């Protein structure tokens, strides 16, 4: 099992169900435990739903996620983001945003963000026990943006992904915050932390217009497909979503900046 597969081994590589106990794992032909698939998807070395496409699996999963408290649109967008990463589907043409291309390329100098952050993984976010949603709730409930207004350099706020441990397969840190001036950082509120985004070239993707959470997750699904194409090497120095100051959560657009190798 390679490093990427190891990092994903806690979720079924067919349906994405978190596997936390040995009895949840499927079996190979010789009766040994499968390290990749759950017992509902895989038995005796074969898929139990062999005729399923990835879209079939997404539709199959959605009711379970809704039962766990997630909205249907959010569940669908999240599944469309995660499923192409999984071993069963990664080699197939998914049709989910596979034709997405950057709207532009842009080189930016380094800049500093200030906000609050969490460390998480894609597997954790997909399990229903993710941290990102709660982080955004905290950001708005505690009015972190308002506290940082005197130090803010550019309107709007950011969701920045950094401190990647294994690219997009392992742990990473997400900060929600604003761009701040370098001068006066010593006077920032104690509750916030800072991260300096390195100078680098970005592929910039503009989301479709619509419910912003769903549109961003849908764009990430396409970005993952784009990043697997030859010549589109991510740098993992720091990627970010930029949300303008007057964005409408129900009918808005965001920009996603992906750091690329030069």
Provide the 8-state DSSP code for 252.
B
Q: For residue 237, what pLDDT is reported?
A: 95
Q: For residue 92, what pLDDT is reported?
A: 63
Q: For residue 217, what pLDDT is reported?
A: 83
How would you write the pLDDT of the chain (262 residues) with one tens digit per residue?
333 333 344 788 999 888 878 899 999 999 999 988 999 999 999 999 999 999 899 999 999 888 877 778 778 877 877 787 788 887 665 444 446 899 999 999 999 999 999 999 877 776 666 789 899 999 999 999 999 999 999 999 999 999 999 887 788 999 999 999 987 777 898 889 999 999 999 999 999 999 998 889 888 878 887 887 888 999 999 999 999 999 999 999 999 999 999 8
Q: For residue 99, what pLDDT is reported?
A: 61
Q: For residue 224, what pLDDT is reported?
A: 80
From-to residues of CATH 3.20.80.10 in the chain: 108-259
Fold classification of 108-259 (topology level): Multidrug-efflux Transporter 1 Regulator Bmrr; Chain A (3.20.80)
pTM recorded for the entire structure: 0.73
In the block, which residue shows the tokens 């842009």? 106
Q: For residue 4, what pLDDT is reported?
A: 36
Q: What is the DSSP string of 168-196?
A: BSS-EEEEEEEEE-STTGGGS-TT-EEEE
- CA distances to 7, 17, 31, 40, 254 from 28, rounded to whole Å, are 21, 18, 5, 13, 44
């Amino acid at each position: 099992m390679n490093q990427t597969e190891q990092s994903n081994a806690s979720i079924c590589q067919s349906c994405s169900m978190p596997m936390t106990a040995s009895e949840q794992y499927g079996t190979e032909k010789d009766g040994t435990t499968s390290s990749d698939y759950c017992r509902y998807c895989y038995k005796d070395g074969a898929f139990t739903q062999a005729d399923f496409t990835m879209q079939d699996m997404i539709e199959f999963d959605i009711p379970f996620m809704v039962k766990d408290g997630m909205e249907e649109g959010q569940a669908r967008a999240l599944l469309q983001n995660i499923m192409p990463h999984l071993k069963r589907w990664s080699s197939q043409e998914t049709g989910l945003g596979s034709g997405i291309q950057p709207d532009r390329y842009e080189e930016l100098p380094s800049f500093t963000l200030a906000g609050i952050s969490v460390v998480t993984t894609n597997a954790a976010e997909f399990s229903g026990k993710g941290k990102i949603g709660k982080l955004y709730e905290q950001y708005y409930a505690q009015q972190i943006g308002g506290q940082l207004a005197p130090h803010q350099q550019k309107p709007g706020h950011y969701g920045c992904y950094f401190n990647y441990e294994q690219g997009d397969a392992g742990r990473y840190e997400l900060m929600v915050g604003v761009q701040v001036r370098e001068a006066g950082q010593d006077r920032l509120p104690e509750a916030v932390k800072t991260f300096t985004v390195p100078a680098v070239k970005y592929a910039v993707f503009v989301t479709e217009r619509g419910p912003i959470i769903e549109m961003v997750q849908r764009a990430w699904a396409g970005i993952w497909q784009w990043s697997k194409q030859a010549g589109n090497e991510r740098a993992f120095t720091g990627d970010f979503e930029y949300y303008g100051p007057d964005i409408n959560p129900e009918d808005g657009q965001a920009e996603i900046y992906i750091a690329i190798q030069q």
